[in-house]
Amino acid sequence: MPELPEVETIRRELAPHLVGRRIAAVSVKWPRMVRRPSADEFVRRLRGRTVESLSRRGKYLVAGLSGGEFLLLHLKMTGSLLVKPSGAAADKHTRMVFSLIDDRSEPSALHFRDPRKFGSAWLVEDTSTVTGKLGPEPLPARFTAEALADILKGRRQPIKALLCDQSRIAGLGNMYADEALFAARLHPLRPAGTLSPEEIRRLHRAIRQVLRRGIRDCGASVSNYCRPDGSPGWAHESFRVAHRGGRPCPRCGAPIQRLSLRGRGSYFCPRCQPL
């Protein structure tokens, strides 16, 4: 699933193609993708709206529209957003197409492609109806080591599971949690509430570093993720443990191990990250 660096990369690269443009038409090829309102009303209310802003909240893209409503998109596991020329054929995995026009450039289209059909779209007046349960963003200055300590305090769940809980920290997911835990030398099964102040400071620093590096490298293309022009990111080339099971640890040489935690694979070095 695309995580914060991938969604932020998409936001940055989509903004020049969307902001200031008018949605001339919407074609919904998989109506169940639209969570709110009905697919028919979704199409009707979007037609003629201008995209005034494009932001991110956690793993959600949020387009501010003329008239005061917001279009929210979530890519889930296999979704991608591709900018195409107007009239370009949609392949069999394209679930939604937004036709875009303005007075200064050629018409274009935004294709929401999603092979597994898990992606979602909302059109709402208040974004909190969709994103209200998300935890804090991990990159703003207000996300301090003290703020992280408050999130971890008294929690018995494994630290890896807590880091991936969007109600605790928004945007952090499986890959970057593995990378942050390796950098902080913490085992993924360590109970979250047992971290010392120094370990929390190391983890806080590692979370921000791996996310910023992921954004710098335009996201990780380990599976379905691609950028709006169809090209891959290269953040995965710098991964030290994520998706590297069986390979030698870059720090000590021990084989990277994989364990299953709440249905997700977690990668770690048993020597550098002892339990």
Strand partners, 101: 22
CATH code for residues 4-131: 3.20.190.10
Same fold, 4-131 and 145-268: no
pLDDT at res. 103: 82
pLDDT at res. 1: 79
pLDDT digits (tens, 9 = 90+) for 53-62: 999 999 999 9
Instruction: Indicate the domain borders of the chain.
Output: 4-131, 145-268
Statement: residue 99 has pLDDT above 90: yes
pLDDT at res. 50: 97
CA 220/CA 154 separation, integer angstroms: 33
pLDDT at res. 228: 97
Considering only the top CATH level, what class is 145-268?
mainly alpha
pLDDT at res. 164: 97
Residue 187 CA, chain-centre distance (Å), reads 23
How many Cβ atoms sit within 10 Å of the Cβ of residue 242? Answer: 26
Statement: residue 238 has pLDDT above 90: yes
pLDDT at res. 135: 98
Active site residues: 2-3, 59, 264
pLDDT at res. 64: 98
pLDDT at res. 224: 87
Statement: residue 104 has pLDDT above 80: no
pLDDT digits (tens, 9 = 90+) for 150-202: 999 999 999 999 999 999 999 999 999 999 999 999 999 999 999 999 999 99
| Residues recorded for the chain | 275
pLDDT at res. 49: 97
Sign of the CA dihedral running 151, 157, 163, 169: negative
CA 105/CA 90 separation, integer angstroms: 21
Residue 227 exposed, middle or buried by CB count within 10 Å (0-12, 13-18, 19+): buried
